[in-house]
A and B are shown apart, each in its own frame.
Chain A
Amino acid sequence: MLLPALLTTLIATAATPANRAAPATPAGPLAIRAHKAYVGAGPAIEDCVVLIDDGRIREVGRGVRVPDGTPLVEHAGVLTAGLVACGSYDGIAGGTTDVTRAYLPEARLADAFAPAHPDFERLLTAGITTVVLVPRPENVIGGVTAVVKTSGGTIVKRDAQLAVALSTNALLFNREPTSYAQALVQLDALLARPQGTLARAKAGELPVLLQVDPEHEVARALAFAKKHGLKGALYGAERAGEMAAEIRESGLGVVFHPLGLGSDKRARRSVVALSEAGVPFAFALEAPDHSPEDLRLSAALCVRAGLPVEAGLQALTAGAARIAGVADKLGRVERGLAADLVLWSGEPLDLASRATHVYVDGVLVHSAPSAAPAKD
């Protein structure tokens, strides 16, 4: 039996969109029963109950008993973990680039994170609860990325990845280096006697995010990572699927640029091929250049090109969390992880669906102006 979605008045009023930086009320216990839930690995669970307390998920499953007195939200649609955008420029104070120098290994994006930035409102409406703040690829080493929540001002991980752009975008015509060859020579020199974040990257403690685009840049990055034993992911790499074997061998993951409606078939098939080769992958959002819905659109377009729905959802949630290095904290609907949840009016990868309710750390931070249309 399906019930119309119910929301207690109490919780609905907690979603005051003005105050993201510091939610006033600590999250009390809450239960959500969804018609269908994609929890992470494995098949979707029907009539799934999620128990939340203190901002974390306490219990997940069909038939989980809701303790007396715990408010229950009944949802006729689909529940997923909050979406994770693996690269975005949103919510960064003072822009993301400093073009005066090519190497900024000690720059930390976490220091540029502005929790109250109005950009985050837009991300929440699209069900995005976590973003990886990355520098634009205009420095050969752009700094250390940070994983942050779009609500509550939480920095999930202060030093997530070291961003290295072996990209034509980082080769400015009036700053050394101007060539790939010199960039590689200088990077090799820096890694020969590594210090600070570079030392941590070389030791395998800090993953790298290699910002590259065409095939030849990918090939160069793979050779570079191999030479120095670096772990992490490629970022960009539109044709990565055509080099899936080499990428799998490298052990690196791939973060794709968001795929808009204007993206070509070759780019979408590339994602499918990479997925079939078993390479972990996720999508970047690159807001504000892209609209927040482009994250979901990216996965949907790949599903259209042959990607299994589960793989598409993974890339937006658990897979993305894994590449961002925060899989132990979020990305799945699983006991002990952060209660970042999205209630969708229908299938999440159906573009007609929308996020009706978004919870971050167990707090309702967004609800659609009108409740989800009731189903009989």
Chain B
Amino acid sequence: MQTTPSHFFARSVLATSFALLTGGLALGADKLVIEAGRVITRAGHEIKDGVIVIENGRITKVGKQGEVDKPWDATVIGGPSFVAFPGFVEAQTSRGLDRPNENIDVAPFLDIRDSIDPINFAYEDYLRHGVTTLNVQQGGNCVIGGRGMIVRPVGMTVDEMAVRPDYALKLSASPKTGKSAATQSMALRRAFDELKKRLEKQVQDKKDGKARDKREAMFQGRELEGEKAKGRAMDGKGWRVDGLELVPRGELDEKDLQLLELVEGKRDAFVWCAAAMDVRKALDLAKQNGFLERTTLVLAGDCWKAADVVAASGRPAILVPPMLHVELDPLTGKEVETSVPKAFAEKGVKFAIASEGFGPTTPSQQVLWYQAALAVGQGLPRDKAIAAITTVPAEILGLADRVGSLEAGKDGNVLLLDGEPLSIRTHVEFVIIEGKTAYDRSKDIRAKHLLEGQEPRGTSPAGVDGASDAKPGSKQDALKKDEAAEKKAAEEQRKADEKKHYESSEERG
């Protein structure tokens, strides 16, 4: 017998949509079997009538119905009408933050975890549209921004959301507000020069027998025991400061640690380029300072003109909307349109597609799969578009062994769709994150607001609330009942309003 997760929720008190979205992780079973008419394990690989077994949050088996042993005590979800698909991966975003841009030019010591707002609608939207893993970074309006964090869009606290805290640094090769391209580059150079000078001074002080750094560290209560008591020679492929092994790592200024890790090649970097002219600067900066091999370029549409440069660097890229670059030809006065993902694909660049746009946000720049679908409509092969929102971002984030495809051993992040992936008529019906149902469209109150045109329960003026308690039974039945009640309430409301209209118009007439 099939059981939909609504059983589990039926009696739980879900007063707000938020509890619905987050409650899944707390209440789900340890073992989950997902059945689907089609299981798309990764771009181009599909199992008809497939089964996915998830145990303790990990996928243990993927295979054909009948060929896979299903644990007898597992919850079963899905059915032949569903398409199972890996959860989408957002390679880079600044959504869900209270404010995305810090005004301190060079601030690698900041941590995005302090800005993440777990109840921001953005995470709800991500879930609704099938994103199960996302890399939250500071916005591109910076010189060197704070540390990002990889999260799943569920959880009431940042810790619950965390997949990988203390992640990459965000840098911008393009001018921050108030800077020119020249002063931006100057600020970037200076940040690394100053780091070098400070490290050299600490080495010199140590040689001179000065103990000021140690005193400062003790005063701040920093850890100076164990590993922290040891010095270590500087790593990295960029520049080095000789004699750094003389300085115990615990005595280094905490504000310098992240940038030092970057230079030592021990931390990922996402470098924002708003225009093609910035790409080479970004790559040069990364090379000179030893973090080229940890660099991912975040590219706006104009950067298609530098596709060759990106290809030659061998570094992966993240393309942000709009996917279509439009420019006025000054000689003919006509608009020239270029498909950005196609341009990069033709040069062999490995890229992910992101959903957060550059420039004024337009109505559609919100949804990851929609951007991938647009890329297909502009000539990008479908498999590449799917990879650009699943396996490629997983690789970029260093999570290739955990997310991006449906394989034994990976995280149990699965979407159940009601149709062909990337089709406009398809909806995400269920989102499973690490084996637990994180989203069920039939319970998505705000989507109802959008889809059924009704105010969320509890906010509607008329008595719509009475119909809120879904009874066990098929999803369809429950929906029908809801609809009927809502329509009735709406009708009553309409009549009341109409009466008011007539009254008021009489007064006026």
Contact = CB atoms under 8 A, between A and B. Distances in A.
Interface in B315-343: 330-333
A234 to B, nearest CB: 19
A249 B331 CA distance: 26
B465 to A, nearest CB: 51
A266 B329 CA distance: 12
Nearest to B331: A266
Interface of A: 264-266
Interface in B477-509: none
Contacts of A265: 331
6 contacts: A264-B330, A264-B331, A265-B331, A266-B331, A266-B332, A266-B333
B330 to A, nearest CB: 7
Main secondary structure of the interface of A (DSSP, over half): helix
A64 to B, nearest CB: 49
A265 B330 CA distance: 10
B199 to A, nearest CB: 50
A265 B332 CA distance: 10
A272 to B, nearest CB: 15
Contacts of A266: 331-333
Contacts of A264: 330-331
Interface residues of B, number: 4
B328 to A, nearest CB: 13
B35 to A, nearest CB: 62
Nearest to B332: A266
Contacts of B330: 264
A67 B410 CA distance: 109
A265 B333 CA distance: 12
A238 to B, nearest CB: 11
A264 B333 CA distance: 12
Nearest to A215: B333
Nearest to B333: A266
Nearest to A214: B333
The 4 closest A-B pairs by CB, nearest first: A266-B331, A265-B331, A264-B330, A264-B331
A265 B331 CA distance: 7
A266 B330 CA distance: 9
A90 B403 CA distance: 74
Contacts of B332: 266
A264 B331 CA distance: 8
A266 B333 CA distance: 10
Interface string B329-371: 0111100000000000000000000000000000000000000
Nearest to A239: B333
A149 to B, nearest CB: 40
B271 to A, nearest CB: 35
A181 B47 CA distance: 64
Interface string B377-410: 0000000000000000000000000000000000
A75 to B, nearest CB: 42
Contacts of B333: 266
A264 B332 CA distance: 11
A266 B332 CA distance: 8
Contacts of B331: 264-266
Nearest to A265: B331
A28 B180 CA distance: 65
A3 to B, nearest CB: 49
A278 to B, nearest CB: 25
Interface in B443-482: none
A11 B331 CA distance: 51
A8 B85 CA distance: 99
A357 B134 CA distance: 78
A217 to B, nearest CB: 15
A265 B329 CA distance: 13
Nearest to A242: B333
A214 B333 CA distance: 11
A288 B333 CA distance: 30
A177 to B, nearest CB: 27
Interface in B86-111: none
Nearest to A266: B331
A345 to B, nearest CB: 36
B334 to A, nearest CB: 12
A229 to B, nearest CB: 32
A309 B226 CA distance: 87
A264 B330 CA distance: 9
A39 B438 CA distance: 90
B115 to A, nearest CB: 42
A237 to B, nearest CB: 15
A50 B332 CA distance: 47
A60 to B, nearest CB: 44
A99 B500 CA distance: 51
Nearest to A269: B331
A242 to B, nearest CB: 10
B394 to A, nearest CB: 48
A171 B262 CA distance: 58
B312 to A, nearest CB: 33
B457 to A, nearest CB: 49
A107 B330 CA distance: 39
A306 to B, nearest CB: 16
A306 B164 CA distance: 66
A212 B358 CA distance: 37
A266 B331 CA distance: 6
A367 B174 CA distance: 56
B335 to A, nearest CB: 16
A332 B331 CA distance: 36
A333 B333 CA distance: 42
